[in-house]
Chain A
Amino acid sequence: MNILLEYFEVESYDELLKLVYSKPDDEKIIELRELLSQFNIEVGDSND
């Protein structure tokens, strides 16, 4: 059981990454992006 995938209701990290790009303003995604940015990973800019 992968709780991250369950939380975002996707089936793979590939799908999750696509979700990050496609729904940058989603509350859940914003929280994930903020977490990633702590590790210098910038994906799915909400201003795009």
Chain B
Amino acid sequence: MTNLYKTFNCDTREELYEKMKLGVDEVRPLLEFLDYAKISIMNKEKNISSPTILFETVSKITPPTKDSARIIFVDTKNRPVHLCKMRLSQRVDIKRAISEGLTAGAANLFIATHEDSKDSRIDNFVELSESIRLRVVDRLTYSQSKEEYTSLGARDSYQLDENPEIIKETQNKDNMSYNQLDKFNEYAEFFARQELKGLNIIEDVELIKEKMKLGFQFEQQEVLGYLSYDQDNNVINLNPQFKGGVNSSIIDPRIILKDLLREENMKGFILFHNHPSGKTTPSREDMMSTQALYEGIKRLNIEMADHFIIAKEGVLSFVEEVETNSFSNIEYLDKIAEVKEPIIEYRGQATEKVEVKPELSPQNDLKTVLSELMEQDYESFVKSLISIEKGINDDAILTEMYEKYMESDATLLNDLFDDIEFDLELGDDISNVISDDLIREKPMKVKGIEKKSNDKDVGVKKSLLGLLSKESIDTKNTADKIRKEVAKSMEL
């Protein structure tokens, strides 16, 4: 049987004891446990309910140094569950401490730092901690010369937190009762081990979505989990972590990170959850939680490639389909686009790239350019058209109009084209259809100037064509460029 001293690479117990006395980093867990045992024995009330008790507590443990802080992880009732020494300058050490704290079931924490520690590093840790919903109840600063602590909060008592307790049952999926082991688990485990593992999150993203949908679309409760991937972007694990109610939002960064930080060789993850309602539409809370999680894990240098919402109607990708300023993993989106671009779907099977040569005509060229513009920056594209058609230059108004347009069922083309299409479907002669319908159409306006002659119109069209050539595309300034070109043409 392995002895404790051998576990810490010591030849004898005495050597281990000496290392502990010297406080060498190699035996850090033993020193931490020593401190933890001290505060547990000392604190009969078990919870840290006031600064007085906190001062008594920290006075029993090894004080922080300039480089390393002391973190006391506590549960929702402020009962210590773990204690860590943590180097504020090392991200790896911060990750390790947070991982240990979350695994221990921490909901909150106290941090004690040395007076000479850099404020920016402390602030950074506090922000990180809060962003993943580990509330910092109080911050203590240790004065080495005075051998005393001061509290940043300086309150009489610590309010107990409404922060929900981390659900411990998520740690014991292997011990779930038979009732809990429904089809979801069978599917999830099956896909994790047999099918999803090894798939590439960029090249095989559609396949991954397909398998995720099969596995989770019929689940009656909300399931939250993640797909982790390695440095080569290959899936290494599927971890369905938590089952919630039928319509509650269950994205808690602490639950996700608790397992995620213990994944070996993990570069990043794709979050997923299902909607038992059958619709993939993200709720406001889904979006806010995604944003909060994204901000939190970014600080830990972990990638969050995407967030899938799985439902009967399909799999929604936040990165590809949700327009939000909060979570936008552009790099990942570009990689997916690169892979998707050369693939043409044929009877559900991805095939080799097939080069399709478009017909050589002006409208095809322009169509290609316009399509590219739409894909690159749809908002600017729509705003440009509104600006040309309505002569509006104010960006705030254009933004408002764009948002209203996106909320409505309106299309960019007016009813005239629906009428023409309808007439054609009825078998009317094309020349009659167009002339009849055009009579009802108002003349085109540019900046309030009515179209007066065919020559001017041709000039405008040519200018637009030139403007929209690939060389001159600048999506951010599309509206301005189009306006300038149109104005220039009108002056000719």
Report which A residues bind B (CB closer than 8 A): 1-5, 7, 11-17, 20, 27-28, 31-32, 34-36, 38-39, 41, 43
Contacts and interface: CB of A to CB of B under 8 A. Distances in A.
Instruction: Give the interface size bracket for B toward A.
Output: 20 to 34
Interface stretch (B77-85, B285-293, B446-454): B77-85
Given A3-B29, A5-B29, A11-B171, A41 B34 contact: yes
A8 B81 CA distance: 16
Given A3-B29, A5-B29, A41-B41, A13 B4 contact: no
B128 interface: no
Given A7-B2, A17-B37, A43-B41, 5 more contacts: A1-B96, A3-B7, A4-B30, A20-B37, A38-B20
A27 B1 CA distance: 10
B8 interface: yes
A28 B37 contact: no
Contacts of A3: 7-8, 29
A39 B34 contact: yes
A13 B83 contact: yes
A36 B34 CA distance: 7
Contacts, number: 72
Interface stretch (B98-106, B383-391, B458-466): B98-106
B32 interface: yes
Give the most central of B3, B33, B104: most A CB within 10 Å.
B33
A13 B104 contact: yes
A19 B105 CA distance: 17
Nearest to B80: A14
B33 A11 contact: no
Interface on chain A toward B: helix, strand, loop, or mixed SS? helix
Interface in B21-74: 29-30, 32-34, 36-38, 40-41
Contact of A12 (B4, B13, B17, B100): B100
A39 B457 CA distance: 92
Contacts of A31: 3-4, 13
B104 A12 contact: yes
A12 B105 contact: yes
Contacts of B34: 36, 39, 41
B136 interface: no
Contacts of A38: 17, 20
Contacts of B2: 7
B4 A32 contact: yes
Given A12-B103, A14-B80, A32-B4, A4 B33 contact: yes
B16 interface: yes
Contacts of B105: 11-12
Contacts of A39: 20, 34
Contacts of A28: 4
5 contacts: A4-B33, A13-B81, A13-B83, A14-B40, A43-B41
